[in-house]
Chains A and B, each alone.
Chain A
Amino acid sequence: MIEGWNYFWQGLSDFITVRTIFDVIWSTQLGIIVGMLPGLTATMGVALMTTLTFHMSPENAILILICMYVGAIYGGSRSAILLNIPGTPANAATAMDGYPLAMRGEAGRAIGISTTGSFLGSIIGMIMLAFFTPLLGNFALNFQSFEFFWLAVFGIVISGNLTAPKDPVKGWISGFLGLFIALIGMEGIHGFVRFSFGNTNLSGGINLIPAMVGAFGFAEILSMMKYERANVINSKIERILPKVRDIFRYRKTIVRSGLIGTLIGAIPGVGEDIAAWVSYDFAKRGSKDSNEFGKGSVEGLMAAETGNNAAVAGAVIPVLSLGIPGSAPAAVLLAAMFIHGVRPGPLIMIESPDFVYKVVAMVFLATCAMFVLGLSMVKYVVKVLQVPRTKLMPIIFTLCVIGSYAIQSRIFDVRVMIFFGILGFVMQQMEYPVAPMILGLILGNMLDTNFRRALVIAEGEALPFISRPICLVLISFIVLTLVSKTRWFNICTTVIMTKMRSLISR
């Protein structure tokens, strides 16, 4: 623990240079602007920024990406409050109470509350990141091929379940489709080329960054261009600094939402939007003024913003400890780490424990920058919302194209981006979530190599897959996730709950 503190302070002091502070400020501000603009998501921002930081040193590049990530998730609250259009999906719950507050002429107060909530959520997430990453990393050292196989399956199943709550089948289809796409190209055990149809570009596999830029960037451009121009509301922004009374009054909500946000963020492939909704739902259930929710509740706004920003740090926990992303932007972050030669996963606490705490210091710097920038220059920055999408989207598309191309200087990657853009758009229209597909793209190799390796170790026996303790826990989670949406499961839980209540009342 003390060693961790030392690493953290060492990392933080290394970052306190004029150049780094400058990088932190511009990247966080850019993140806020990206998040603010409907149609530009955090994933897209981090993916595009990965291509721009390609030539930087690993630490600088990852710091900039984390700043962009933290800034974008917070920035989305601005358009949610002022336009009733969430800048990123993570801010959908923010619009529920942020916009009614703005309509009442309290836009400044709403921005102040969302900034403070995001700051506190991010700090709670950061503490959890520092505490749980080493624990999870050390625990994951016990994992063998059997456990990694089940972990990959669990990631797909839970991600599909939570990102498509109305229809988990579509979430699972998306996830398994991603797993299949990951298998295209040369496999990792015997070097055999699969599903390439003689195409040399395909034999190298599908690169994650162009796929993500397409699925989250180009698909979003197509979705945005579907609609006519959004109306910009000129809401008056007065006092932005939050009142201490507001924060102190909702301290329980803040802590609860922070913890929920971090936990949801740490679940593979789920992300900040679900974290915000769950935090909001818990706050509503626990509030004395639950009737106010949806009508401009400060508590609701605080819960949503605390939850989504706590999820940012939460999503980084499995990235560092397991090499599995907690959310879509964290998936890009993971890919960027690989590009820069950092190998996240269970061995990170043995190979480079200082890096884990450097990431904690990066989150801390990004959080501080977000708080300061969030409370200043608001009136000027919100003017960006007035830029028409017809002028913005062609530039974003140009960046998607050159960003995909820049990684390996291949036109093929631009085509991959286009393909995934169209696929992502079609999936959106048919209500298939895109996040499980991207998670599948990341986990595909892990699932493939570990399953076959485990089969060889077990000499084709199925028993080791189901008899090892961690495997059993993961299998029970998977089964529970699969059956949790079935009608008979709901009936059973209702009967059990009713019986328990009657027993307690006796």
Chain B
Amino acid sequence: MVDAKMARKDFIASIVLIAFSLTIIIMSYTMPRLERRGIDPFSAPGVVPGMIGLVLLCLALILFVRSVRYGGYRITKGTTDTVQTQNQKGAAVRVMLTLFVSLVYAIGFLGRLNYSVSTALFIFAFICLFEIQPGRSLWNQRKIILFALVQAVVASLLITVVFQNLFLVDLP
């Protein structure tokens, strides 16, 4: 038994998968067969990707048919009816914040800023973002900020020293 919410998710996923598998099939079909190099057509590079694309297409179609049977296509109706609870909203915000701060560090800072500095900044920002309560004054929460700062500096230095000197990694 598939619930309505999951059926909606499955419906969207099946459409994405159908498009994805069709792209794989088309790309595999148009892939060079290397006949000029006298290569056996059965060993052409597009054979296996094409086959996998076909299997994925079949599975996506099963998912599509099943989600339609359970009413997953009623997207607009379903989303307007759904009332997200406060907890779900909070969870989504926490995930987005984690993702944002992680992406800024891993894609924005790394390789552009000194490794130790960027790591310390990331750890400090992460802790403050989740531990500081917005309603209260920062002065009253100075312990949290101070502890975050100490943890960020110590962890960053430790990771830098261990990876650079012990594991001989050329840090970014």
Known: A190-B45, A415-B107. A398 touches B119 (CB 8 A): yes
**A-contact 0/1 string along B101-131, CB 8 Å cutoff:** 0110111001100000001001100110011
Known: A177-B56, A194-B45. A402 touches B163 (CB 8 A): yes
- In the complex, identify which listed stretch (A8-16, A23-31, A129-137, A446-454) lies at the interface while the others stay far away: A446-454
Contacts of B24 in A (CB 8 A): 180
Query: Which A380-415 residues have C-beta < 8 A from chain B?
Result: 388, 390-391, 393-395, 397-399, 401-402, 405-406, 409, 411, 414-415
Is A2 an interface position by the 8 A CB rule?
Answer: no
Asked whether, in the complex, the Cβ of B131 is within 8 Å of the Cβ of A173, the reply is: no
Asked whether, in the complex, the Cβ of B122 is within 8 Å of the Cβ of A394, the reply is: yes
Is A455 an interface position by the 8 A CB rule?
Answer: yes
Contacts of B56 in A (CB 8 A): 173, 176-177, 180
Is A377 an interface position by the 8 A CB rule?
Answer: no
- In the complex, identify which listed stretch (A79-87, A219-227, A294-302, A367-375) lies at the interface while the others stay far away: A219-227
Complex alpha-carbon distance, A456 and B59, angstroms:
28
> B90: nearest residue on chain A (CB-CB)?
A228
Asked whether, in the complex, the Cβ of B106 is within 8 Å of the Cβ of A401, the reply is: yes
How many chain B residues touch A (CB < 8 A): the figure is 64
Contacts of B163 in A (CB 8 A): 402, 406
Contacts of B49 in A (CB 8 A): 180, 183, 194-195
Asked whether, in the complex, the Cβ of B106 is within 8 Å of the Cβ of A430, the reply is: no
Asked whether, in the complex, the Cβ of B169 is within 8 Å of the Cβ of A418, the reply is: no
How many chain A residues touch B (CB < 8 A): the figure is 59
Name the one of A187, A388, A393 contacting B45, with C-beta atoms under 8 angstroms: A187
Is A69 an interface position by the 8 A CB rule?
Answer: no
Asked whether, in the complex, the Cβ of B43 is within 8 Å of the Cβ of A179, the reply is: no
> B27: nearest residue on chain A (CB-CB)?
A195
Is B161 an interface position by the 8 A CB rule?
Answer: no
Q: Give the distance to chain A from B88, nearest Cβ to Cβ, in Å.
A: 9
Asked whether, in the complex, the Cβ of B17 is within 8 Å of the Cβ of A226, the reply is: no
Asked whether, in the complex, the Cβ of B43 is within 8 Å of the Cβ of A456, the reply is: yes
Contacts of A169 in B (CB 8 A): 59, 62-63, 66
Known: A221-B98, A395-B123, A406-B167. A179 touches B52 (CB 8 A): yes
Asked whether, in the complex, the Cβ of B9 is within 8 Å of the Cβ of A173, the reply is: no
Is B91 an interface position by the 8 A CB rule?
Answer: yes
Asked whether, in the complex, the Cβ of B94 is within 8 Å of the Cβ of A225, the reply is: yes
Asked whether, in the complex, the Cβ of A418 is within 8 Å of the Cβ of B106, the reply is: yes
Contacts of B27 in A (CB 8 A): 195
Is A506 an interface position by the 8 A CB rule?
Answer: no
Complex alpha-carbon distance, A453 and B155, angstroms:
51
Asked whether, in the complex, the Cβ of B59 is within 8 Å of the Cβ of A176, the reply is: yes
Contacts of A225 in B (CB 8 A): 94-95, 97-98, 130
Asked whether, in the complex, the Cβ of A390 is within 8 Å of the Cβ of B130, the reply is: yes
Name the one of A192, A390, A406 contacting B32, with C-beta atoms under 8 angstroms: A192
Asked whether, in the complex, the Cβ of A394 is within 8 Å of the Cβ of B106, the reply is: no
**B-contact 0/1 string along A446-479, CB 8 Å cutoff:** 0110011101100110000000000000000000
Is B42 an interface position by the 8 A CB rule?
Answer: yes
Contacts of A491 in B (CB 8 A): none
Query: Which B22-44 residues have C-beta < 8 A from chain A?
Result: 24, 27, 31-32, 34, 37, 39-40, 42-44
Name the one of A187, A227, A414 contacting B106, with C-beta atoms under 8 angstroms: A414
Complex alpha-carbon distance, A177 and B60, angstroms:
11
Asked whether, in the complex, the Cβ of A418 is within 8 Å of the Cβ of B167, the reply is: no
Contacts of A172 in B (CB 8 A): 59
Some 25 contacts from A to B, beta carbons below 8 A apart, are A169-B62, A169-B66, A173-B56, A183-B48, A190-B39, A192-B45, A194-B45, A195-B27, A222-B99, A394-B127, A397-B126, A401-B110, A405-B110, A405-B169, A409-B172, A411-B172, A414-B172, A418-B102, A452-B42, A452-B47, A455-B42, A455-B43, A456-B42, A456-B43, A460-B42
Q: Give the distance to chain B from A144, nearest Cβ to Cβ, in Å.
A: 16
Q: Give the distance to chain B from A442, nearest Cβ to Cβ, in Å.
A: 15
Complex alpha-carbon distance, A485 and B66, angstroms:
15
